[in-house]
Chains A and B, each alone.
Chain A
């Protein structure tokens, strides 16, 4: 069978071209790589090469022809063992092929109808564990709770290891990994050079190779140098591999503003990571959530971004003394019940919301407070159930207002809770500026308790 030369698409968008010039004539011998013709596209003039050798049997399009559709047969080359004077020219020679449309249409899918049910894979934990009556509660800091979570998972699974800057000998820049080196040794608790992009990539590759890394960033501000591996390498590989390649990794570290460290060290990345399908994003407030959710994150077969908060590390909370204290990812928690208005927050904002609820109580307003705990997937149901009860909602966030978790909460309420609303949903956030250093300016820029109280009163129409 002779070699058919069709007008090729020379870019992803090319649909037709001009055959500017033939560089061979009928009867010419060509070798692989020889030029056959010059083709003009809308962007450039390109040269068409022969893949295989032979004798040019027929040129089917005249030089100078314009608007030739991609796929049109333009020449026929006889192979070595064929007679160039006697090749078959296919009957449909001049026509472009049926376009590449195939059996299935590419119509926009019906999102509602096509949503799959729960995956076949591990029925991930979806139920809040019960705390039986009489369970001993242990008072511990968020820092200790996180350390215990890592230690418990490392004892249970030899594939779990901790990697990051100063996690081993220094015992953690914020002492979260204190004691881990002593218990697990330097094979499993690994100090890295200061090289975020590199070690995030190494940890991600190790997860692809079958291990379960806990990759600590000294703060998430520095993870911006590594965000390509978090988003492109860890977050997308399962999808791009059609479900073959897993990446069970936890990226963890402090996130958000600390105290007086200025703009480059004070940023909340919750909304950034929560916008990425393929990632799980967790951001706990108290020690019990921190412990139970970090254990769940390490057990998860998926990549998890685990956002802690430096100012919370030293705060103490009650944690149930239970061996299997593992909390469900993707479930918010009502941390204070109320009837008049819902305050929705996460991380350090939950403390502000709880304080606001106390103040509101003295004004006769009974506020419900929701700790989202997981930012992706976001627990819409718990938010909407609360809105249905209180009919008023304020989103509270230590972070910028634009494209934030708060704006996502507002969107959810508009889309699915409109009929429940008795007032517009408000958001109270940081001021929309880089965080300043001066004490008074910093205070003015961060989330403020009185603004939460004011917003709650406003949606209750009690000013």
Chain B
């Protein structure tokens, strides 16, 4: 049993030196249409430059957030997305304006990917009036209806039925949108996830369920928490087709998201995509990281970093080092500007304590 699980862990490519098998899909079954095998997205140089820029923005933003946390300017919990940038960047590149996004508590990157300004996010992290939730939400509770970003939810697993509800509303209003629902390998063990899977398939809701498998639910590895550790198969008993995809390559991510979104938009019901990814930092800022070795982290970082990979590919396409440096500089400036703003802009007015509890006034 143990040996089998270890083998599984190896060939899904989460850890260690093995390179991931890039894509697998759930096996063909009688009476169920099989989702097509996706292929890696083939970008133009311009497209890949944009993906690189977006991933780098998330990385630098999160590093800065980590620093501001260290300085005491960000309070409470702060979960960084460093290492996982390719997932949200690749998926977002496959989406249309009609689609909506919902996620859990590690969503700074998702917000930036949705086009929300770094200033709005950073000043929410510092708890200021200019923050996207007026300073009342914090790291885990941010929303932007304008950008169809529906949170930012601190309860593990909750975004999955909520996201199915967003999908329900896309279908009810016939607006052509798909709800893109992100959750982690930890959330994949919550019961409500499967309640949502059941209804989503039963009602053929336009939902794309995305498991960002970063290998650890806080400090518990997937193998220690999941009887079925091939999480892309977790929809099978609901007839939900699944894909397992290398989440450390933004073009693999985008290619799979394109195939999955086409399938969902075609009225075939939801798809479950498991992206194999990795977080370099602790679960939150106060994580002593005793559950994994430094070598494991450094190994992924040096061999499979999604940003370095995109950079190498860009250089192969003919991008010169100067233009990459210019992008780096530009992003650093934007992030610094956001951080300076977030440090200096005022805290909310005390009157805000009482606003936004209810929309209406009663009695």
Q: Which A residues have a C-beta under 8 Å from some C-beta of B? A: 6-12, 14, 32-33, 35, 43-47, 51-52, 70-71, 97, 99-100, 102-104, 106, 109, 114-116, 118-119, 121-124, 126, 161, 187, 192-193, 195, 197-211, 228-229, 232-233, 237-246, 277-278, 280, 300-302, 328-331, 374, 377, 379, 381
Contacts and interface: CB of A to CB of B under 8 A. Distances in A.
A371 B349 CA distance: 38
A237 B158 contact: no
Interface stretch (B27-35, B211-219, B350-358): B350-358
Nearest to B202: A193
A209 B354 contact: no
A269 B164 CA distance: 27
Contacts of A33: 280, 297-298, 301
A12 B76 contact: yes
B363 A374 contact: yes
Interface stretch (B4-12, B132-140, B240-248): B132-140
Contacts of A202: 161-162, 164-165, 168, 196, 199
A248 to B, nearest CB: 8
Contact of A242 (B134, B153, B169): B134
A79 to B, nearest CB: 11
Contacts of B70: 6-10, 70-71
Contacts of B133: 240-242, 244
B100 interface: yes
30 contacts: A7-B70, A8-B70, A14-B286, A46-B289, A47-B288, A100-B71, A104-B350, A114-B351, A114-B354, A119-B355, A122-B360, A124-B362, A126-B362, A126-B363, A193-B202, A197-B192, A200-B161, A201-B161, A205-B102, A205-B167, A210-B169, A211-B169, A211-B173, A244-B144, A245-B143, A245-B151, A278-B358, A300-B360, A301-B360, A329-B363
A211 B347 CA distance: 34
A97 B286 CA distance: 21
A122 B359 contact: yes
A456 B151 CA distance: 51
A113 to B, nearest CB: 9
B100 A239 contact: no
Interface in B121-175: 128, 131-137, 141-145, 150-155, 158, 160-170, 172-173
Contacts of A203: 165
Nearest to A246: B359
Contacts of A328: 362-363
B136 A242 contact: yes
Given A100-B71, A242-B133, A328-B363, A10 B195 contact: no
B158 A51 contact: no
B192 A238 contact: no
Contact of B356 (A9, A71, A207, A243): A243
Contacts of A51: 63, 66-67
A209 B362 contact: no
Nearest to A51: B63
Interface of B: 63, 66-67, 69-73, 75-77, 100, 102, 128, 131-137, 141-145, 150-155, 158, 160-170, 172-173, 179, 191-192, 195-196, 198-199, 202, 280, 285-286, 288-289, 294, 297-298, 301, 346-351, 353-363
Contacts of B173: 209-211
B152 to A, nearest CB: 8
Most A Cβ at <10 Å: residue of B150, B198, B285, B363 = B363
A200 B132 CA distance: 27
Given A199-B199, A202-B168, A379 B150 contact: no
A161 B172 contact: yes
B332 to A, nearest CB: 10
B196 A242 contact: no
Contacts of A6: 67, 70-71
Contacts of A207: 165
A65 B244 CA distance: 48
Contacts of A199: 161, 195, 199
A11 B285 contact: yes
Contacts of B289: 46-47
Contacts of B166: 205-206, 208-209
B137 A241 contact: yes
A245 B144 CA distance: 8
B361 A198 contact: no
A241 B298 contact: no
A43 B131 CA distance: 31
A239 B168 contact: no
A10 B280 contact: no
A32 B301 contact: yes
Nearest to B66: A51
Contact of A209 (B71, B170, B285, B301): B170
Contacts of A197: 161, 191-192, 195
Contacts of B196: 198, 201-202
A120 to B, nearest CB: 9
B153 A192 contact: no
B198 A9 contact: no
Nearest to B360: A124
Q: Which 5 A-B pairs have the closest CB atoms?
A: A205-B165, A198-B195, A201-B161, A8-B70, A330-B363
B134 A44 contact: no
Contact of B169 (A43, A205, A240): A205
Most A Cβ at <10 Å: residue of B102, B199, B348 = B199
Contacts of A100: 71-73
Nearest to B124: A242
Contacts of B100: 209
Contacts of A240: 133, 136-137, 141, 143, 151-152
Most B Cβ at <10 Å: residue of A7, A233, A328 = A233
Contacts of B358: 119, 238, 278, 280, 302
Contacts of A8: 66-67, 69-71, 285
B234 to A, nearest CB: 15
A87 B161 CA distance: 54
Contact of B164 (A7, A193, A201): A201
Given A102-B347, A201-B165, 7 more contacts: A99-B72, A100-B72, A202-B196, A205-B164, A209-B173, A240-B143, A245-B143
B355 A243 contact: yes
Contact of B198 (A52, A195, A329): A195
A242 B135 contact: yes
B54 to A, nearest CB: 19
Most A Cβ at <10 Å: residue of B179, B192, B294, B354 = B192
A379 B358 CA distance: 16
Contacts of B66: 8, 51
Contacts of A7: 70
A122 B361 CA distance: 8
B355 A116 contact: yes
B155 A233 contact: yes
Nearest to A207: B165
B362 A10 contact: no
A237 to B, nearest CB: 7
Contacts of B353: 109, 114
Nearest to A296: B362
B298 A209 contact: no
Contacts of B195: 193, 195, 197-199, 201
A123 B134 CA distance: 23
B172 A206 contact: yes
Contacts of B354: 114-116
